[in-house]
A and B are shown apart, each in its own frame.
Chain A
Amino acid sequence: ETGVTQTPRHLVMGMTNKKSLKCEQHLGHNAMYWYKQSAKKPLELMFVYNFKEQTENNSVPSRFSPECPNSSHLFLHLHTLQPEDSALYLCASSQDGELFNYGYTFGSGTRLTVV
């Protein structure tokens, strides 16, 4: 298995739907991240979790709700999204204290389309 696994790979949802994105890491890392990648824009950091505790929320709208039940799993719950939320959502993990040695390990992302 790859180090960071994201499911589903593709998701199409209506604006009234509720869905969840899942991220799982098998690297023993204790920090996990959600990034949003929109066309022709820099990667936007959304949330940071260290040891299951949320340490950063970058002014993300409340229609995005993260959950980190343990250091290996990270979810992003979605509800009442807008078409402009369509993007590639990337999950990443790192070992606290070793960020500068290895950077992040990324998953393949979930391509989300809101219709």
Chain B
Amino acid sequence: AQKVTQAQTEISVVEKEDVTLDCVYETRDTTYYLFWYKQPPSGELVFLIRRNSFDEQNEISGRYSWNFQKSTSSFNFTITASQVVDSAVYFCALSGSSSASKIIFGSGTRLSIRP
């Protein structure tokens, strides 16, 4: 069975603080893919990043960075110098080779950035 756990239901920080969103996954597949999506108040989920299970290099994109650690089955997302526009619900997701075209989502973390 595949599962994605986002233990942090809600996080609130003051603007310009750094914040890390946690994601822990379970899968028996040796080939799998991890995703992060952002859901702003408008509703649509916006694709942020995809990592495959063979690439454990951390990735940085502007103020966003991702830390993938297979040893702990985690794929954490850090926003540096947070801004009010970062306020959204963030979803971590997983798709394994056994699940074909399905993506399994975590329950999401609601991030609020206070001015």
Contacts and interface: CB of A to CB of B under 8 A. Distances in A.
Partners in one complex: yes
Interface of A: 2, 4, 31, 40-43, 45, 48, 50, 55-56, 88, 90, 92, 94, 96, 99-109, 111
Interface in B13-47: 33, 35, 37, 42-47
Interface residues of B, number: 24
Contacts of A56: 102
Given A102-B47, A103-B47, A45 B33 contact: no
B87 interface: no
A42 B50 contact: no
Contacts of A101: 50
Contacts of A104: 45, 47, 103
Contacts of A41: 107
Contacts of A43: 91, 105
Interface of B: 4, 9, 33, 35, 37, 42-47, 50, 52, 91, 93, 95, 101-108
Contact of A100 (B45, B52, B105): B52
B45 A106 contact: yes
Nearest to A44: B105
A33 to B, nearest CB: 8
A43 to B, nearest CB: 4
Nearest to B35: A103
Contacts of B46: 106
B102 A48 contact: yes
B6 to A, nearest CB: 9
Given A108-B42, A108-B44, A103 B50 contact: yes
Given A40-B9, A40-B107, A100-B95, A45 B102 contact: yes
